[in-house]
């Protein structure tokens, strides 16, 4: 399936030297936890033609640890751990996805809610745009709307992340070669229930895009030649895609499907490519304190990472970088004073807390029936009463399941903790140590020998 491999970056070990350039840290400065075994590649200056930037939104070390217990063995990224990165934004110690993404895409801090602009409102060049300037093909993949904050920061510049209709226009104008995710509503006119004055999908077709809307159409979309100006647009839902737990009941592709097809298309460019892949809904699971959603969407993200590393192993010139943008929910490993955690128990849960809450009748008299139908747990009378009387039954169900799995939560919002950085491929050791989120695109640009500067 894969003809050629590029670089996927996960973390860096570069520091800013006295002369303003990026230099490699000495081995002695690397923390003990920065990976294990032999380095992925021997030399720090090996050729990098392609970068695959993989962002598990909302993910941190607690998610990684719980997922390892959920899976029963190390995740694919565990052996590629390089370091940590700091996430604070220009105006807050706790970032949102727009500010974090802007920093991770451009190397410039900005204020929460801002996309692709610095704190003074000036446009900043992104690693995707710099790659395009170098003649490389580019792609964006997400399980949210493709116009959501994280994908948006790579190919648009707006004051508010909520302006997804304008983001869609700018993404098309930016000639991103592959865009796959949800968000059809932001590409079609109001007459068709959308947010635009004109039909951007039809406009995209006129500009060389093949448009697909189902998993089958995506996998069958052959003969897309980016060298000849052909591109791929996949919008698989009006809004975001479904959570992974019920994706199979739809015609929507998996995150690994979208990653694989993106690489198939982009690898045809002899000048190389840049691809960003976001596991968007890990973050949304954290906001809902839903351990089932979190673990199953992390599993889907790992399957996508496996596709990327598989390609990188064959290609030899591809850097794969894996780093979340922030943590969401304050997930803990263990809860309620118990010295244990059992996230593997959620493997047999068949619906998100939100989906279960929607099945409750008006007086919530069917709590026991609904929850026991979708989980392996037996509710006590006290459990039933707690959910019946809760102001938010969704959160009550999720906290019940979390308690059973001994997974804790401290927030329903983002937190400000440092985030693990993983990397595989040439120059992957450049991501070692304690970094800032602004360092990540700078190291990628240095690896690809491209300029990344303010617009």
Catalytic residue numbers? 97
**Which residues, 6+ apart, have CB-to-CB distance to 62 below 8 Å?**
327, 331, 332, 333
How distant, in Å, are the alpha carbons of 58, 179, 293 from that of 297?
11, 20, 6
3-state SS of the chain is CCCCCCEECCCECEEECCCCCEEECCHHHCCCCCCCCCCCCCCCCCCCCEEEEEEECCCCHHHHHHHHHHHCCCCCCHHHEEEEEECCCCCCCCCCHHHHHHHHHHCCCCCCCCECECCCCCEECCHHHHHHHCCCEEEEEEEEECCCHHHHHHHCCECCCCCHHHHHHHHHHCCCCEEEEECHHHCCEHHHCCCECCCHHHHHHHCCEEEECCHHHHHHCCCCCHHHCCEEEEECCCCCCCCHHHHHHCCCCCHHHHHHHHHHHHCCCCCCEEEEEEECHHHHHHHCCCHHHHHHHHHHHHHHHHHHHHHHHHHCCEEEEEECCCEECCCEEECCCCCCCCHHHHHHCCCCHHHHHHHCCCCCCCHHHHHHHHCCCCCCHHHHHHHHHCCCHHHHHHHHHHHHHCEECCCCCEECCCEEEEEECCCHHHECEEEECCHHHHHHHHHHCCCCCEC
The two beta strands, 81-86 and 419-424, are antiparallel
In contact, 117 and 123? CB cutoff 8 Å: yes
């Amino acid at each position: 399936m894969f003809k050629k491999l590029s670089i996927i970056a996960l973390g860096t070990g570069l520091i800013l030297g006295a002369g303003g350039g990026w230099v490699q840290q000495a081995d002695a400065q690397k923390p003990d936890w920065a990976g294990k075994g032999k380095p992925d590649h021997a030399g720090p200056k090996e050729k990098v033609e392609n970068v695959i930037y993989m962002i598990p939104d909302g993910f941190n070390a607690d998610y990684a640890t719980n997922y390892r217990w959920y899976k029963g063995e190390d995740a694919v990224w565990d052996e590629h751990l390089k370091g940590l990165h700091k996430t604070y934004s220009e105006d807050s110690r706790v970032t949102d996805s727009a500010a974090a993404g802007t920093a991770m895409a451009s190397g410039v801090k900005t204020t929460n809610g801002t996309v692709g602009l610095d704190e003074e409102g000036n446009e900043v060049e992104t690693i995707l745009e710099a790659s395009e300037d170098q003649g490389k093909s580019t792609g964006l993949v997400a399980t949210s709307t493709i116009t959501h904050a994280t994908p948006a920061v790579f190919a648009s510049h707006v004051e508010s992340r909520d302006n997804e209709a304008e983001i869609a226009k700018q993404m098309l104008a930016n000639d991103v070669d592959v865009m796959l995710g949800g968000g059809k509503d932001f590409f079609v006119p109001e007459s068709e229930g959308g947010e635009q004055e004109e039909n951007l999908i039809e406009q995209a077709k006129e500009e060389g895009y093949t448009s697909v809307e189902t998993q089958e159409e995506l996998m069958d979309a052959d003969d897309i030649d980016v060298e000849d100006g052909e591109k791929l647009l996949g919008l698989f839902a009006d809004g975001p895609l479904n959570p992974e737990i019920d994706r199979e009941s739809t015609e929507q592709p998996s995150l690994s499907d979208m990653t694989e097809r993106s690489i198939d298309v982009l690898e045809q460019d002899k000048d190389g490519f840049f691809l960003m892949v976001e596991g968007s809904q890990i973050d949304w699971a954290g906001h809902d304190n839903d351990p089932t959603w979190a673990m199953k969407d992390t599993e889907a993200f790992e399957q996508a990472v496996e596709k990327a590393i598989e390609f990188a192993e064959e290609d030899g010139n591809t850097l794969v970088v894996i780093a979340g943008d922030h943590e969401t929910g304050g997930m803990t490993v263990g809860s309620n004073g118990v010295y244990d955690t059992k996230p593997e128990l959620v493997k047999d849960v068949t619906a998100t807390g939100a989906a279960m809450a929607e099945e409750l009748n008006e007086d919530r008299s069917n709590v026991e029936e609904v929850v026991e139908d979708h989980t392996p747990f037996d509710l006590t009378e006290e459990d039933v009463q707690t959910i019946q009387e809760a102001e938010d039954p969704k959160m009550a169900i999720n906290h019940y399941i979390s308690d059973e799995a001994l997974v804790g939560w401290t927030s329903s919002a983002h937190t400000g903790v440092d985030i693990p950085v993983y990397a595989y491929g040439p120059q992957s050791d450049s991501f070692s140590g304690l970094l800032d989120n602004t360092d990540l695109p700078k190291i990628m640009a240095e690896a690809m020998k491209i300029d990344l500067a303010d617009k």
